[in-house]
């Protein structure tokens, strides 16, 4: 019985963690440099990537992306908020189907890249949310 529950949990469409934090800043380059200098972040042109091991399977790794965006960028549109959170999800197609059934605004279609599948939705407060199913999960 417990084994069946574990298998069900792995295929149930849901959020499994945070995949990234994105926010507006006046000068992304200066912001990245400040965080590198004062807080030791290992930054690149996109921000910083934090890697971790899964608690329930230490052999598996994951990542969280931290990225400052130039204020005024339309990447968070149609949201007018100054941030966007990326949530790691499992079974993105099933989740999007359920969200549409529930009347949630789905901003775009699921897109696939080498590193995973993405889609954007709007929450009840008008925040654009990025959903990401990492490749290989």
pLDDT values of the chain reduced to their tens digit, one per residue, 137 residues: 444 444 445 678 889 899 999 999 999 999 999 999 999 999 999 999 999 888 888 888 888 999 999 999 999 999 999 999 999 999 999 999 999 999 999 999 999 999 999 999 999 999 999 999 999 86
Whether residue 81 contacts residue 126, with contact meaning beta carbons closer than 8 Å, is answered with yes
Q: What is the pLDDT of residue 2?
A: 47
The whole-angstrom separation of Cα 8 and Cα 85 is 26
Residue in the block written with tokens 């790794």: 61
Nearest to 79 by CA among 22, 26, 17, 13: 22
Q: What is the pLDDT of residue 10?
A: 61
Taking only Cα atoms into account, the Rg of the chain, rounded to an integer number of angstroms, comes to: 17
Q: What is the pLDDT of residue 45?
A: 92
Backbone angles phi, psi at 109, to 5 degrees: -90, 160
Residue ranges per structural domain of the chain: 12-134
Q: What is the pLDDT of residue 54?
A: 82
The whole-angstrom separation of Cα 103 and Cα 86 is 20
The whole-angstrom separation of Cα 26 and Cα 68 is 9
Reported CATH class of domain 12-134? alpha beta
Q: What is the pLDDT of residue 9?
A: 59
């Amino acid at each position: 019985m417990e084994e069946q529950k574990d298998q069900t949990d792995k295929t149930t469409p849901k959020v499994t963690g945070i995949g990234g934090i994105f926010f507006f800043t006046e000068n992304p380059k200066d912001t990245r440099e400040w965080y590198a200098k004062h807080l030791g972040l290992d930054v690149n042109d996109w921000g910083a990537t934090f890697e971790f091991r899964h608690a329930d399977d230490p052999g598996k790794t994951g990542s969280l992306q931290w990225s400052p965006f130039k204020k005024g960028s339309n990447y968070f549109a149609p949201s007018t908020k100054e941030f966007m959170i990326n949530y790691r999800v499992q079974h993105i197609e099933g989740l999007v189907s359920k969200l549409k059934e529930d009347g949630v605004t789905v901003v775009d279609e699921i897109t696939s890249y080498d590193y995973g599948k993405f889609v954007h939705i709007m929450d009840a407060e008008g925040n654009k949310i990025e959903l990401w199913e990492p490749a290989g999960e």
